Amino acid sequence: MAAKHYKRAINIDPEFAPPHYNYGNLLKQRFGQYQKAKHHYERAIEIDPEYADAHHSYANLLRNRSSQYKNAKKHYERALKIEPEKAMVHRDYALLLKNKLNRYQKAKQHLKQAVEIAPENAFIHNSYADTLYNTFEEYRKAKRHFKRAVELDQKNPEYHKNYAICLRKLNYSIKARKHERISQRLS
C-alpha cells in the first residue's frame, strides 16, 4: 500500500525529493531491493543536495550492501556538514570508520560525540561501550556506558549480556551473573 502511494507521489512530482527518499527506505527495509533503493536515494540527493537524511540513508546502504566505502564516507560527511547534531549519523559513520576503514580514533570521536548529542539513547551508549571495550580495551569507561545502556533500556537482553561480559572482565562476578540471568530471561 505504501509503495503505491510513494510511486504515485513520484509520478505527480518527480522533482520532489522526499517521496524518492521515503520510497528508497521502504524498498531497502521492507523489500530488500537495494539497487532500486540506491536509485531513489541518488535521485533524492540529485534533486536536493542538502537532504541530510537522504545522504545518511544512502551512506548506510553503501556501507552495508557494497564496498563503496569512500563514497559512503563522503555521504556521511555531507550529512554531518548539513546537520552536525544528528547522533545516529555520527554513530553510523563511526561504524564505517571502525569496521571498514580502520580509522579507530576517529570512530571513537564520533561515537563520543553521538553520546554527547543523545545522552538518553541506549543504542548509542551500547555502540560506544562496545568500541571502548573491543577496540580500545578501556574496560572501566566501557562499563559506565554499558551500564547506562542497561539503565535506559532495561528490557534489551543484548545490553545486559554486554554489560555482564564487561563486568566479568573487571572481576565483578556477582553483578555479572545477575545481568547474565536477566539477559537469558529476556531472550
- Domain segments of the chain as ranges: 1-63
pLDDT digits (tens, 9 = 90+) for 49-98: 999 999 999 999 999 999 999 999 999 999 999 999 999 999 999 999 99
Calculate helix-pair angle for 87-99, 122-134, nearest 10 degrees.
20
Residue 6's pLDDT is 87
Residue 49's pLDDT is 98
- Pairwise CA distance, residues 55 & 137, whole Å: 32
Does domain 1-63 fall under CATH 1.10.3720.10? My reply is: no
**Is the Cβ–Cβ distance between 81 and 50 less than 8 Å?**
no
Give 125's contacts (C-beta < 8 A, 6+ positions apart): 115, 145, 146, 148, 149, 152
How distant, in Å, are the alpha carbons of 43, 53, 97, 103 from that of 94?
25, 17, 5, 9
DSSP-assigned letter for residue 15: T
- Pairwise CA distance, residues 52 & 31, whole Å: 23
- Pairwise CA distance, residues 18 & 40, whole Å: 10
pLDDT digits (tens, 9 = 90+) for 13-59: 999 999 999 999 999 999 999 999 999 999 999 999 999 999 999 99
Q: What is the pTM of this model?
A: 0.94
pLDDT confidence tier of residue 121, bands split at 50, 70 and 90: very high
The CB-based long-range contact list for 133-140 (8 Å cut-off, 24+ gap) reads: 133/162, 133/165, 133/166, 133/169, 135/98, 135/104, 135/107, 135/108, 136/104, 136/108, 139/166, 139/169, 139/170, 140/170
pLDDT confidence tier of residue 1, bands split at 50, 70 and 90: confident
